[in-house]
Amino acid sequence: MSNVFYQRFLILLFLSIALFLGGNNLVHLTDPDEVFYTLTAREMADRNEWLTPYIFNQPQFEKPILTYDLIRVSFDAFGQTPFAARFFPAVFACFGVLGIYALGLFGFGNERRAFLAALVMATSAFYMAMAKTVFTDMIFSVLILYSLLSFYLAYLNPDFRRAGIFSFYIFAALAVLAKGPLGLLIPLAAVIIFLLYQREISFLKTPWFLIGFGLCLVISIPWYWYEISKYGDVFIKEFFVNDHWRRLTEAEHRSNDTWYFYPITMLAGLFPWTLFVAAAFVDLFKRLKFTIKPFEYFLLSWILVVFIIFQVSHSKLASYILPMFPALALLAANYIDERLEQYQHRVLKIFAYCMIGFLTVLGIGVLAAHKAYDVYIPTLVPAYWLSAVLISLGGISLVLLFREKIREALILLGFSLVSIFITAFMIVGFIEPHISMNEACLYVPSLAMKKTTILTSKPYARGVAFYTHQEVAVLNIAGENYFSPHPIPIITTEEALEIFLAAQQETYAIVRKSQYEDIKKHVSDKFQVNLLKISGRNYILKIDPIKP
């Protein structure tokens, strides 16, 4: 390897560590998903359990075991902190950037292009966000990346064939333990489609492919076998029927169930490289029958498999298609680098204009958001000043471009993006009450020192349980149940609410405004409803029976 390789490797490593691990303790765990995974890991730790996930003191089977166990390991090393909970998604994101660099080196045979692909991935908005969030998706996606990287090395190098195929299946098996059977289906389908494109399906006839498949089953099946043996139909119905088949046939988030949700996510998620991704696809399809290279076919197979699998599913979330983002970054980098070689001046100007447009839209958006949602934007940082600064930076950059000072414009735009990143960290404390239950829950234990059941709104149940260490009941009059069942009381009628409140000497509640109004409407004649505090969107109440 050349000195340039080691220099770029270190740049990517330190950049990834700074972006993905830096500041991970500044924001408490958010609702509803981060606290879901972290509460499960904590309950497993309390039980000294490594195989069965628990939540609300009952087994839960929404996801396999790998992510929970990794969070437990992190808790043992760093304590039960937000940094610890987010540690492994961030570490996997770092490995993902380095894995893209390696795949780009072997696929493109070009160090600069591989480095650019890794840089595109590391600085893409959606990848950065997922790297700093407690989800299974980053771990799952990076394992799929390394599975496909292993295959492509085996495909290119006969001397690495056995090791590559075995690695392909090992990483796929770990992905199965991270999120489910798609951990094997996605990479295997991508490989098969690619080999069909290449008319080399005979590659699968090597005995190592069959042995590797057996190795994959040996690694992944025992946990599933254990849960089925212990919990039987309960595990099968929840994991396979509810969390896989039902998500395929029924939308959990109905507003996302549109044909354009994933195309928009693909483009927006790779900001600030969005236009280059779109251009790369247009260019690729123009060349599809003539000059497309085997590695581009490989990336296209990868993207198509992920897109088709999740597009046909009615339950859609942006995080589901994260496994295709490495392939998108590689395609975008290939397009950018080819154009830089031909039209460097023009490409850099297009990129600069895109950044200027972003600053301008963001500046206008700050004003609009402040007017519509002033509670989210702190008065300590007046919106009109922030808007003026953003638009001014864009205007100065535009003047520099008109004077053909492209380098100076790009430096200023880069400084602008860094400044936005730092500003976001500075004001995050003002936003936290709207995305985390931590502040609201800190107020309750200071008043309720004994064991009790806290009444809460449906989206808050996990966060309230996590931060208060108390049992919870959900107030959801005339509302829908959870998509996946939760083993907690769910109060759906006025009569049930009265019975619940009467069973406790005093009740603390952390609810939304609408539930606060429901409580006052339905039980204020029999119970004293005291509003203790409003934290973000959270109404903190103390409810006592009215003494005769």
pLDDT, position 498 = 87
Degrees (nearest 5) of the Cα angle 435, 438, 441? Answer: 125
Rounded CA-CA distance 355/71 in Å is: 37
477-525: pLDDT as tens digits: 877 777 777 888 898 888 888 888 888 888 899 998 888 888 888 887 8
- Bridge partner residues of 473 (DSSP): 455
Is 305:122 a contact under the CB 8 Å cutoff?
Answer: no
Is 82:27 a contact under the CB 8 Å cutoff?
Answer: yes
Q: Could you check whether the bond before residue 64 is cis, i.e. omega within 30 degrees of 0?
A: no
Mean pLDDT computed over 373-395: 65
432-475: pLDDT as tens digits: 787 888 888 888 766 555 678 899 998 899 999 999 888 899 98
**188 or 361, greater pLDDT:** 188
Tokens of residue 206, six digits: 């090597």
Mean pLDDT computed over 354-367: 77
Q: What are the residues whose beta carbons fall under 8 Å from the beta carbon of 42, sequence distance 6 or more?
A: 75, 80, 466
Q: Note the helical H segments in 232-293.
A: 233-235, 246-249, 261-269, 274-286
Please say if the pLDDT value at position 192 is more than 50: yes
pLDDT tier, 45 (very low <50, low <70, confident <90, very high otherwise): very high
pLDDT, position 338 = 81
Tokens of residue 417, six digits: 């993006």
What are the distances in angstroms from CA 241 to CA 12, 54, 75, 245, 414?
A: 41, 19, 31, 5, 48
pLDDT tier, 163 (very low <50, low <70, confident <90, very high otherwise): very high
Kind and range of the H or E element at 374? none
User: Burial letters for 236-258: b for 16+ Cβ neighbours within 10 Å, e otherwise?
Assistant: ebbbbebbeebbeeeebeeebee
Domain boundaries, the chain: 3-344, 345-432, 438-545
- Bridge partner residues of 540 (DSSP): 510, 533
Amino acid at 328: L
CATH fold for the domain made of 438-545:
Translation Initiation Factor IF3 (3.30.110)
pTM of the full predicted structure? 0.89
Q: Tell me the Ramachandran region of residue 37: left when phi exceeds 0, alpha when psi lies from -120 to 50, beta otherwise.
A: alpha
70-83: pLDDT as tens digits: 999 999 999 999 99
pLDDT, position 69 = 96
pLDDT, position 423 = 64
